[in-house]
Structure 1
Amino acid sequence: MTGFFFIAGALFGAMGVALSAAASHGGSVNVATAANFLLFHAPALIVLSLVVAGGRILHIGAAILLVAVLLFSGDLLAREYLGQRLFPFAAPVGGTGMILGWLMLTVGAAFSRRG
C-alpha cells in the first residue's frame, strides 16, 4: 500500500501542475483551487508513503487524505468542466476529510513507536 500512496502523490503533483496551467490560461477559481489542493497534498502523500509503515493510524490518515483531496478537488473540477457537482456536499465532505486526515496523522505520529 505504501507504493500506492507514492504513486497517488506523484499523480496529484502531475495533475496539480497541469491544472495550474489550465487555470492560468482562462480557468476559473475552482480550477486554481483544485490545483493548489492537489499540489499541497502531493508531497504529503509521497512522504507518508515512506513513513506509513510506522503504524496503522498513519496508514488510515494517509488513506483519508487521499480520498478527501479527490472528493474536494473532484467536486470543484466537476463544477467547472461538467457543470454539476459530484454529489451534494462533496467539497465540504472532502474538506472535512482533509482536516480529519491531518488530525489522524497527528495522532498516529504522537503514538508512533519510533520515538
Structure 2
Amino acid sequence: MNDSNGKLWIAIAAASGAIAVAAGAFGAHGFDPATVAGARARDWLQTGSHYEIVHALAMLAVVLLSAQGRIGGKLTGAAQWLFLIGSVLFPGSLYALAFGGPRWFGAVAPFGGTAFILGWLALALAALSARR
C-alpha cells in the first residue's frame, strides 16, 4: 500500500470512526428508551456504531500492517474495501431504520455483515500468504 493510499484509508477510517461515535452518542441521548420505538432505535444505533467503530479500527490496523510490510497485495486491498462496504451497508441500514427509514433497510444489513466476514477472511489469507 503506497503512502497516499495509506493516507486515504486513514482518512476513511477516521471518518467512519467519527460517524460511529456520533451515532452511538445520539443513540444514547436522542431517543426516549421508555417507548418501544425509542428503545429499538437506540439499540439499532448502538449496534451499528459498535460494528462501525470496530471496523474503522480494523481499517487502521490494515494500513499499519501494510506500512510495516507485514501484509500486502490484492487481498489486503480487498479486506479494506470489504470493511468499508460492510461499514456502509450494515451500520448504515441500522442507522436508517433508527431514523425512520423504510423497513426494507433491514434486508440490507446481512449484506454488510457478509462483507465484514469476507473482509476478515481476506485479511487472514493476506496474513497467511505474506512473504515475511
| TM-score > 0.5, shorter chain as reference | yes
Structure 1 segments unaligned to the other structure (5+ residues): none
2:24 aligned with 1:20: yes
Aligned positions, number = 114
Is residue 48–residue 91 contact of structure 2 (8 Å, CA) maintained in 1?
yes
Unmatched 5+ stretches in structure 2: 32-40
Amino acid at match of 1:19: A
**With structure 1 as the length reference, what TM-score do the two structures score?**
0.88
- The 4+ residue runs of structure 1 with deviation greater than 6 A are none
In terms of Rg, which structure is larger?
2
**RMSD value, Cα:** 1.8
Cα gap change, 1:73 to 1:88, in 2 (>3 Å): closer
Alignment of 1:1-115 (within 5 A): 1-25=5-29, 26=31, 27-52=41-66, 54-85=72-103, 89-114=107-132
Q: Determine if contact 1:78/1:85 at 8 Å carries over to the other structure.
A: no
What does the per-residue CA deviation read over 1:23-72, in whole Å, with 9 as the maximum and x for residues that have no partner? 11125211111111111111111121233462221111111111112100
Q: Which amino acid aligns with 1:44?
A: A
The alignment-based identity, stated in percent, is 33
TM-score normalised according to structure 2 size: 0.77
